[in-house]
Chain A
Amino acid sequence: MEGTQYMKIAVALIVLLPLAGFIITLLLGKRLFRARSHILPVALVTVTAVLSVYAFEWVVRHPDTAFVWNAFSWVAAGRFTVEWGFLVDPLTGIMLLVVGIIGMLVHYYSIGYMKDDPGYYRFFAYLNLFMFAMFVLILANNYLLLFLGWEGVGLCSYLLISFWFRKKSASQAGKKAFLVNRVGDFGFTLGMFLIFVTTGTLQFTGVFDKAEMIGSGTLLWICLLLFTGAVGKSAQFPLHVWLPDAMEGPTPVSALIHAATMVNAGVYMVARSYPLFVQAHTAMLIVMIIGTFTAIYSAYIAITQNDIKKVIAYSTISSLGFMFMALGAGAWAAGIFYLFAHGFFKGLLFLCSGSVIHAMGGEQDMRNMGGLRKKIPITFWTMLIGAIALIGVFPFAGFWAKDEILGSDFSGGYYVVWAVGIVTAFLTAVFAFRLIFMTFFGKSRASEEVQRHIHESAKVMTIPLVLLAIPAALLGILVGWPPDTGWIHTFLQPVFFDVEREKFVWVGVGGGLMVFSVAVALLGVYVAYVMYIRRTELPGRLAARLPVAYEASFNKMYMDQVYEVVPIRSTIAFAGWLWTFFDVKVIDGAVNGLARLWELLGERLRPLQTGRVQNYAFSIFAGMLVLVVVLAWVWGS
């Protein structure tokens, strides 16, 4: 086939270049590269971004054939074989675009953001390792290799969240992310085991070919276990608690890992397992319910948070919930479309918030911001684009994706889900523009000292913002128009082959829904405008009027406390019991008891050791005699 040679080289390089960058930078960065540590990683990632675009373009040119390449054998143990196999199909192509381009832009942005950080080389090394793992994850053609990338990105997430590990809260957040993800990964692993036991392979094609033959009970379990992994990785309720804390990491990390790429891995994995999920309606329903609940739940929390990054973090959780809602409702392509668009505008929002934090000299609390519009105009405008894209106003990226999702909820008959989605959209608009208004409008609430230093970020940071703002604004209309039958649907058709595409109705229900959701979003903007610009005393009064609702939102629905009480305290109590009872009494008791037993026995057996040779000789002789008798009896008979 034409071009597969080049594709092999491209795929191999996409995977290997970041790995090489990681190894070289980690080994030489501290001594040799120092402040120039970024050059090699950034160059390599730029090349991989170009190669990713090439791979994407290849998929576009070959819509009907997926690129499959089993590079070499990884595990070969009897019936169990796993290849280092790669698969590039439209789904992978879109992920490649997201990861490659956003990854590259974040790398550029980091040059400015991480300037003069003592861990400069380490940061870029980790970022490259992350790119490697993420590419492995999305290029894998079997579950085990996917899992390798999955764990790899988890590791990088941990390393980068606790990047400033001298800060107690950062190292704690890293641990939290790691542990919470472990719960999900455990489910994923069990799911893999179950898949292997049932189908005898982990190869995507092999598994999916047998999907119809799997019993419905088993299939449900497989799907639920896989989804558990997705819940952990994509920060869905109830395993979402790590993502807000993950904001302890440097902002580029939040943009790349915790908004645009890694957290999408769960969505990607569920979408990849489409042939399994599509057969398990109960699993789909659960996916939808969890997604819907997470969406509104975290949107509700986001409206009262004051940390600029926490707001976006909860927004991300909410968006991911939206994606799962779409997948669960059967709007597979719309979910991936949302993922695609979300990667750009959420990455943009994070990078903008990083720029704001940079300008404010490290301040993250929005109550101490305000009036930044004039001082950092590029950041303001790009962030505004990001916010509009997020809340889904025509014709920005979020609009097309979000409305397709809501539309399919409605047409699928999930009216409750649709209503929740609309409320979520409203809340999203409120908190997004609350963020914009509190940060950029009004009077500055920062101290004089800080105000004097406010400055627009360097070019190396603002240019990525502009470059991300373009797709955030235009991507939707480019690939998503016309709704339900747009280019992205055609493109993803080979992946989600079973989904029937309805023709979108401009007039009537479809159009009405669109207008309605935009109206809701604009209403949200208006509410935010009233509350945070016109009558700034209103939020306080509202909070005083509805203390329960406010406190619940402000305290993140007490999920951290719930975790504190249920798993953490009980684990600590259990560990304490293990220590005071099991270790001290049982283990030590067993060891000491054994020692005492031998001591007693030794005391009893001591007289046997008379020290007289002839006593011993007697034993030997008697023993010999016994042996002769036994052997004669055994051999004789």
Chain B
Amino acid sequence: MPGGDFHPWLFFILAAWILICGLGVVAFKKVMYSAASMVACFLGVAFAYALLNAPLVAVVQILVYVGAISIVIIFAIMLTEVQDGGYDLFFNRQAVLAAPLAVAAAAVLTVVVVTADVGQIGDKALNPSVKGISLLLFKGYVFPFELVSLVLVAAMIGALVLARKEEEKS
């Protein structure tokens, strides 16, 4: 059972929530609905992190995903809101092939994961505390941390350059 100091049913309810919301993202014809479903899914995932003894990740998930990314995506939707008229299908033509592939992948990966020897596993939660994570981050992984900050700066500048209107030329 999905151990920890919570009722197993909690896990199943949460998992169902996450998966149904995920399916919603794929299945809603309207883009806005998909976005809403995605936000709901992200919230579920944040809750999962909390159950997995990782409160910091849960908080970051809410801040970044539910807060920032969702907003950016909704902005993008609104900026590009077009009449999808002329396109009846919201799935493309390879859906016929992609559906069995995805099902097969799910089956295979599940089997692989479930039968995998993941080594010594206890029910005891091992995730480090916030303090532990910060120690890890600023001691052992300080170099990747700095690199990530660089990536963020680059992404920020890149997004500005890409999305800005070209005034001087046209």
A binds B: yes
Instruction: List chain A positions with a Cβ less than 8 A from chain B.
Output: 614-615, 618, 621-622, 624-625, 628-629, 632, 636
In which size bucket is the chain B interface?
10 to 19
Q: Given A614-B92, A628-B112, A632-B112, are A621 and B105 also a contact pair (CB < 8 Å)?
A: yes
Also in contact, A618 and B112, with CB within 8 A (given A625-B104, A625-B105): no
Contact A618 B98 (CB under 8 A): yes
> B98: which A residues are within 8 A, CB to CB?
618
Query: Do residues A618 and B94 form an inter-chain contact, with CB atoms below 8 A?
Result: yes
Which 6 A-B residue pairs are closest in the complex by CB-CB distance?
A632-B112, A625-B105, A618-B94, A622-B101, A629-B108, A628-B112
User: A628-B109, A632-B112 are contacts. A615–B104 as well, Cβ < 8 Å?
Assistant: no
Q: CB of B121 within 8 A of chain A?
A: no
Report how far A636 CA is from B105 CA in the complex, Å.
18
The answer to whether B1 has its CB under 8 Å from any CB of chain A is no
Q: Which residues of chain B are near A614, meaning CB under 8 Å? A: 92, 94
- B79 contacts the other chain (CB 8 A): no
Q: Kindly state whether residue B126 has any CB partner on chain A within 8 Å.
A: no
Residues in A with CB closer than 8 Å to B112 are 628, 632
Assembled-state Cα–Cα distance A618/B96 (Å): 12
Contacts of A624 in B (CB 8 A): 105
Query: Could you list some 11 contacts between A and B, CB below 8 A?
Result: A614-B92, A615-B94, A618-B94, A618-B98, A618-B101, A621-B101, A622-B101, A628-B108, A628-B109, A629-B108, A632-B108
Give bound CA distance, A621 to B104, whole Å: 11
CA distance A625 to B101 in the complex (A): 9
Is B97 on the interface with A (CB-CB < 8 A)?
yes
In Å, the complex CA distance between A632 and B108 comes to 10
Besides A625-B104, A632-B108, 12 new A-B residue pairs in contact (Cβ under 8 A), listed by A number: A614-B92, A614-B94, A615-B94, A618-B94, A618-B98, A621-B105, A622-B101, A624-B105, A625-B101, A625-B105, A628-B109, A636-B115
Interface residues of B (CB under 8 A from A): 92, 94, 97-98, 101, 104-105, 108-109, 112, 115
Task: Compute how far the CA of A241 lies from the CA of B105 in the bound complex, rounded to whole angstroms.
Answer: 81
Residues of chain B within 8 A (CB-CB) of A622 are: 101
Bound complex: CA of A624 vs CA of B108, how far in Å?
11
Complex: chain A residue closest to B105, CB-CB = A625
Cα A622 to Cα B115 with chains together (Å): 21
Closest partner residue, chain A, to B101 (CB atom)? A622
Docked pose: A621 CA to B101 CA in angstroms: 9
Residue of B nearest to A629 (CB): B108
CA distance A621 to B98 in the complex (A): 9
Please measure, in the bound complex, the distance between the C-alpha atom of A162 and the C-alpha atom of B77, giving whole angstroms: 86
Nearest residue in B to A622 (C-beta to C-beta)? Answer: B101
Query: In the complex, what's the smallest C-beta–C-beta distance from A620 to chain B, in angstroms?
Result: 11
Residue on A nearest B98 in the bound complex, by CB: A618
Chain B residues with CB below 8 A from A621, complex form: 101, 105
Smallest beta-carbon distance A117→chain B, Å: 73
* Closest A residue by C-beta to B104: A625
- Complex: A364 Cα to B43 Cα, angstroms: 110
Decide: A618 and B97 in contact? CB cutoff 8 A: yes
Q: Which residues of A contact B104 (CB under 8 A)?
A: 625
Smallest beta-carbon distance A469→chain B, Å: 90
Q: How far is the CB of A637 from chain B (nearest CB, A)?
A: 12
- Contacting residues, chain A, for B94 (C-beta < 8 A): 614-615, 618
Chain B residue with Cβ nearest A636 = B115
Residues of B within 8 A of A636 (CB): 115
**Which residues of B are found within 8 Å of A615, using beta-carbon distances?**
94
Q: Is the CB of B108 within 8 A of A625?
A: yes
B105 contacts which chain A residues (CB < 8 A)?
621, 624-625
Measured CB to CB, the nearest residue on chain B to A624 is B105
Q: Give the docked Cα–Cα distance between A618 and B91 (Å).
A: 14
Nearest opposing residue in chain B for A626, CB measure: B108
The docked-state distance in angstroms from the alpha carbon of A625 to that of B92 is 21
Q: How far is the CB of B119 from chain A (nearest CB, A)?
A: 14
Contacts of A618 in B (CB 8 A): 94, 97-98, 101
Q: Which residue of A lies closest to B92 (CB)?
A: A614
A545 to chain B, nearest CB (A): 102
Identify the interface centre among B94, B97, B115: most chain A CB within 10 Å of its CB: B94
Interchain nearest-CB distance for B113 vs A (Å): 10
> B101: which A residues are within 8 A, CB to CB?
618, 621-622, 625
The residue in chain A whose Cβ has the minimal distance to the Cβ of B115 is: A636
Contacts of B108 in A (CB 8 A): 625, 628-629, 632
